[in-house]
Amino acid sequence: MKKLIEKQRRRLKRKLRIRKKVNGTPDRPRLTVYKSNRYTYLQAIDDTRGITLAAASNIEKELRNIRNRVDEVGKLGEVIAKRLKEKNIEKAVFDRNGYLFHGIVKAVAEGARKAGLKF
């Protein structure tokens, strides 16, 4: 149990360190990733107004067929990039939310890049 608490504390420290440097604006929102064991959630956030511009997760009915696997979750990045393109947003700032940049987080970023979103 102590190891799990320590792991969460380290992730929180990384998250706060990242958030000091990364801010979202209306023309370049912050694309943040949250992952649980079963689902992955993506949000494009405008930090100046404190609102979510677009969101996607594999808990949505039409995206439920995307499992939380590295080879499949890249499609989720493509979906959020397409939703941002509909709102005429071409660039974003990637916020990995304290997670290490590999696995699911990396697959999401590559999927968004593949759909034309620039970080």
Q: Is residue 85 part of a domain?
A: yes
Q: What is the CATH number of the domain that holds 61?
A: 3.30.420.100
Q: What's the predicted TM-score (pTM) here?
A: 0.91
Q: Is residue 68 part of a domain?
A: yes
Six token digits for residue 2 = 């102590």
Number of domains in the chain: 1
Q: Is residue 119 part of a domain?
A: no
Ordered per-residue pLDDT tens for the chain, 119 residues: 899 999 999 999 999 999 999 999 999 999 999 999 999 999 999 999 999 999 999 999 999 999 999 999 999 999 999 999 999 999 999 999 999 999 999 999 999 999 999 99
Question: What gap in Å lies between CA 40 and CA 63, rounded to an integer?
Answer: 11
Question: What gap in Å lies between CA 52 and CA 98, rounded to an integer?
Answer: 19
Q: Is residue 97 part of a domain?
A: yes
Range of the domain at 51: 2-114
Kind of pairing, strands 30-35 and 93-95? parallel
Kind of pairing, strands 40-46 and 30-35? antiparallel
Per-residue HEC secondary structure of the chain comes to CHHHHHHHHHHHHHHHHHHHHCCCCCCCCEEEEEECCCCEEEEEEECCCCEEEEEEECCCHHHCCCCCCCCCCHHHHHHHHHHHHHCCCCECEEECCCCCCCCHHHHHHHHHHHCCCEC
